[in-house]
Chains A and B, each alone.
Chain A
Amino acid sequence: MMSLAMATENDNLRIVQVWHGGKFKKKLSEMGIYKDSRIKVIKNDIPGPLIVDVKGSRLIIGRGQAQKIMVEGYQNG
């Protein structure tokens, strides 16, 4: 388990935990980032925000926000 901010490009990831509170957690889940959802890292240039693929759409996530999203790798398939 690691934070999303540490993931490398093209990693397939499963969300383990979202350490965000109420409103933002809700917003993330509406956009497809919630516990157990699967995402893929498209871009992770330090510093700067990340781009991830979520259910076929691309989301920009601030680096600070990504640090509070815990993920783990899984094999595609």
Chain B
Amino acid sequence: MDKIKIALAGNPNVGKSTLFNRLTGMRQHVGNWPGKTVEKKEGTFQYNHHEIEVVDLPGNYSLTAYSVEEVVSRDYIVGEKPDVIVNIIDAANLERNLYLTVQMMELGANLVLALNMNKFAREKGLKINKNELSELLGVPVIEIEAVDKTGSDELLKTIVKVSKSPNVVLDRLEYGNEVSEHMEQIEKIIDQDIPQLDAPSSWIALKLMEDDPEIIKKIEETGKGQRVLKEVKKIQRHFNDVFGDDADAAITDARYGFIAGLVSESVKKPKIDKVTRSDLIDRIVTHKYLGIPIFLLIMWFTFQITFTVGDPLGGYIEEGFAWLGETLAASMGEGFLTSFIVDGIIGGVGGVLVFVPLIFILFLILSILEDSGYLARAAFVMDRFMHKLVGLHGKSFIPMILGFGCAVPGIMATRTLENEKDRLLTMLIVPFMSCSARLPVYALIVAAFFSAYQGWVIFSLYLLGIVVAIIVAAIFKKTIFKGMSAPFVMELPPYRIPTVKGAIIHMWERGVLFLKKAGTIILALSVVIWALSSLPVGVEYGSQESVTGQIGTVLSPIFEPLGFGEWQATVAIIYGFLAKEVVVSTFGTLYGIGGDGGGGEASADEAPAETEEETAPEEDPGFIAVMQELFTPLSAYAYMVFVLLYIPCLATLAAIRRETNSWKWPTFAAVYTFVVAYVVSFVIYQGGLILGF
């Protein structure tokens, strides 16, 4: 069986992922491009005794050196030399899409054009003569529908054929006299001075004229580029003098000129633009006054569905782990190993896995919203607020919304922000959005102290999180992330009905990252915490004599000014770093509250604490009594505020580490959130005392 290596390329929102998923099914691998935070998707499939290896190149508009995605794509085309590149094109948007096509032709890529979304193009009244287009470009043009089987077989057949006899298309491009002439001049010098480059010299010439920093660097590195670079400078000056515009702009013009020629020959457009269904929906969804209520309603439904469906499923997982812990404890008897497995591993990892259903469902709904095109509208609608309040643009709002579910996907979603500063800033404020893991902590404390105003107290915490995020963002924007906000331009894709397969694959890809984390970092940390709670040998698990207890005792004076100087409260905060909801189970463990409802020491000896906590301590009158001894209503509120704001959980820090590829930012996030939490809690507690609460 022979192997064919293909790559999928195209603008964002053209159905590239849909085609990739259709071709490879679940036989795909998602990783990162080496050394980059750009996602790399690979997969294989078989067709007619050919094994076809597919790489999904990141979606982009161009092949310049200005974004990581573009560099990754073009390095792949130049370096890996795939046999065939399938360029997926939104037929309804042919002209703009061909801009990328032209640039791949410049690179000498062996192309097949796959025209997607032809139905939509017809709806718009466009008639594309694909034979004419193919003739003009010198590459095969196939009509497909990525969502179903239309054109699939023809596409595959063409891929195999083209892999055997590559198209030569370099000579098809026309840039007009002025550009071509200068290009040839540079080309000639390149061929004489540095003939051994691995990309076509005409492409190098174009890139040099465009001032492409990467290519200039490469030419400089050969040590033989002085003559070329000098000539390029001269030509650039000439363009500036003669046209009053740089060579870069002239080349862009030339490309669009070439494309306009192609389109006028091969496409019939309607005289009057038809109003599409997408436009009609947008009149309501992006409406000046209706836009925001609609957005809020959709978000409300998202959380409703997530919690209604996800919570019971999480409950089953919780029960499952509790049962597993009990069974193991019963069969293994009491001892060091049992405690290690039950308290350490099952308690730690299980506590985090409880959130898997919530996270998967949230991802599924968000994938559907994203695939349908709604999230782009949300960015549009929220832009004016974000701009005024924080100085970030609307796109930053999407990660923040995700943060209400879980900060980890929120941080991953910052990938859609092009500006590095905006991206970092968004990552740093996402953890202030009160995530689902913090809810059980509130529930516990609110039941003990604020039963009359439950809803309002919890609502105030959510609000506080948002307010703190806005204030912090505004401060950072003026200090460490000083400078202009990224200019805002993004495509508004037409609405589409998301495919089930696409949405599920989307959900899976993101969810699996979370599972992996639970299996590695969280597992490791669980073991550490367990060890600290069990040592020195012989102490009761998690008691004041254990290392944890001692640490808690030593550190607790720090929290005295905030109103919760008890060592137990400190220990719960330390454990909450693993996952915020662990604060709840820690209180359960430390106070030995169990199913017998009596409290006291006895129950702690009977079975490991993790199995007891399912009796919902917040409903346990004994537990409430203990809590009321420990906290006053004021200090309890200060404690909740602290839990809301302090150091993001381990999974979140790991996500920040992964996304920024450095330890600097997660460390910074941990330190500054601690300071913010401390200050805000301090103000609330001391202020409350002065006011006489």
Residue B62 at the chain A interface, CB threshold 8 Å? yes
Stretch binding the partner chain, chosen from B450-458, B488-496, B532-540: B488-496
Interface residues of A in 22-63 (CB under 8 A from B): 23-37, 40, 42-43, 45, 47-49, 51, 53-63
Which among B66, B94, B492, B493 is the interface contact of A26 at CB below 8 angstroms? B66
Whether A34 pairs with B489 at a CB distance below 8 angstroms is: no
- Rounded to whole angstroms, the CA-CA distance of A28 and B388 in the bound complex is 24
Interface size on A, residues (CB 8 A): 37
Q: Return chain A residues, CB-CB under 8 Å to B580.
A: none
A77 shortest CB reach to chain B, Å: 8
B491 touches A31 (CB 8 A): yes
In whole angstroms, what is the CA distance A49 to B393 when docked?
A: 10
**Shortest beta-carbon distance, A70 to chain B, in Å?**
14
A-facing mask of B48-62, CB < 8 A → 1, else 0?
Answer: 000000000000011
With A51-B286, A58-B491 as contacts: A36 and B253 at CB distance below 8 Å:
yes
Is A65 interfacial (CB-CB < 8 Å)?
Answer: yes
Q: Is the CB of B489 within 8 A of A60?
A: yes
| A7 to B380 Cα, complex, angstroms | 18
**Across the two chains, which residue of chain B brings its CB closest to A54?**
B96
The one of A32, A35, A47, A60 in contact with B488, judged by C-beta atoms closer than 8 angstroms, is A60
A35 to chain B, nearest CB (A): 7
Within the assembled complex, what's the spacing in Å between the Cα atoms of A3 and B273? 24
Whether A32 pairs with B393 at a CB distance below 8 angstroms is no
Interface membership of B405, Cβ < 8 A:
no
**Which residues of the other chain, A, contact B379 by a CB distance below 8 angstroms?**
60
Q: Is the CB of A43 within 8 A of B286?
A: yes
Distance between B372 CB and nearest chain A CB, rounded to angstroms: 15
Q: How many residues of B contact A (CB 8 A)?
A: 41
CA distance in complex: A62, B383 (Å): 8
Bound CA span A57–B99, Å: 13
Partner of A62, one of B64, B376, B489, B491: B489
Supposing A43-B286, A61-B489 touch, asked if A56 and B95 sit within 8 A by C-beta, the answer is yes
**Judging by beta carbons under 8 Å apart, are A59 and B95 in contact?**
no
B95 proximity list for chain A (CB < 8 A) = 32, 55-56
Hey, which chain B residues are within 8 Å of A56, CB to CB?
A: 92-96, 124, 126
Complex formed: what's the CA distance from A51 to B488 in Å? 12
Question: Which of B249, B383, B492 sits near A58, CB closer than 8 Å?
Answer: B492
Main secondary structure, interface of A, reads mixed
Known: A49-B383, A61-B489, A62-B383. A26 touches B256 (CB 8 A): no
Is the pair B96, A55 in contact by a Cβ cutoff of 8 Å? yes
- Of A24, A47, A55, A58, which is within 8 A of B487 by CB? A24
Choose among B93, B249, B493, B494 the residue that contacts A29 (Cβ–Cβ < 8 A): B249
- When the two chains form their complex, are residues B383 and A48 in contact, meaning their CB atoms are under 8 A apart? yes
Q: How far is the CA of A62 from the CA of B393 in the complex (A)?
A: 8
In the complex, number of A-B residue pairs with CB atoms less than 8 Å apart? 112
Chain A residues with CB below 8 A from B96, complex form: 31-32, 54-57
Q: A26-B248, A27-B66 are in contact. Are A60 and B279 (CB under 8 A)?
A: no
Residue B245 at the chain A interface, CB threshold 8 Å: yes
Report the separation of the CA atoms of residues A28 and B224 in the bound assembly, to the nearest whole angstrom. 34
Identify the closest chain A residue to B210 (Cβ): A26
Assembled-state Cα–Cα distance A62/B18 (Å): 29
CA distance A31 to B256 in the complex (A): 11
Given A55-B96, A61-B489: A45 and B288 interface contact (C-beta under 8 Å): yes
Contacts of B66 in A (CB 8 A): 23, 26-27
CA distance in complex: A30, B608 (Å): 62
Chain B, residues 61-99, CB within 8 Å of chain A (1/0): the string is 110101000000000000000000000001011111001
B279 and A42 contact, CB distance less than 8 A: yes
Q: Determine whether B394 belongs to the interface, using a CB cutoff of 8 Å to chain A.
A: yes
Min distance, Cβ B247 to any Cβ of chain A, angstroms? 12
Contacts of B383 in A (CB 8 A): 48-49, 60, 62
Contact A57 B491 (CB under 8 A): yes
> Is B491's CB under 8 angstroms from A35's CB?
no
Is the Cβ of B491 less than 8 Å from the Cβ of A26? no
A33 to B252, CA, bound (A): 10
Interface residue from A20, A31, A40 paired with B61 (Cβ < 8 Å): A31
Which chain B residue lies CB-closest to A77? B271
B93 x A57 contact (CB < 8 A) = yes
Q: In this complex, what residue of A is CB-closest to B382?
A: A48
Bound-state CA distance A67–B93 (Å) is 26
Mark contacts of B162-189 with chain A using CB atoms, 8 A cut-off: 1 yes-contact digit, 0 otherwise.
Answer: 0000000000000000000000000000
Which are the 8 A-B pairs with shortest beta-carbon distances? A62-B488, A58-B492, A48-B384, A30-B62, A55-B95, A30-B61, A45-B288, A57-B93
A interface residues (Cβ-Cβ under 8 A, vs B):
20, 23-37, 40, 42-43, 45, 47-49, 51, 53-65
Hey, which bits of chain B sit against chain A, CB under 8 A? 61-62, 64, 66, 90, 92-96, 99, 124, 126, 245, 248-249, 252-253, 256, 273, 279, 282, 286, 288, 376, 379-380, 383-384, 387-388, 393-394, 487-494
- Identify 19 new A-B residue pairs, CB closer than 8 A, beyond the known A48-B383, A49-B393, A56-B95: A20-B487, A27-B487, A28-B489, A31-B61, A34-B249, A34-B256, A37-B256, A47-B388, A48-B288, A49-B383, A51-B286, A55-B95, A56-B92, A56-B94, A58-B491, A58-B492, A60-B376, A60-B488, A62-B487
22 A-B contact pairs sorted by A residue (CB < 8 Å): A24-B487, A26-B64, A26-B66, A26-B248, A27-B66, A27-B489, A29-B249, A29-B252, A30-B99, A32-B95, A32-B99, A33-B489, A55-B96, A56-B93, A56-B124, A56-B126, A59-B489, A60-B490, A62-B387, A62-B489, A64-B487, A64-B488
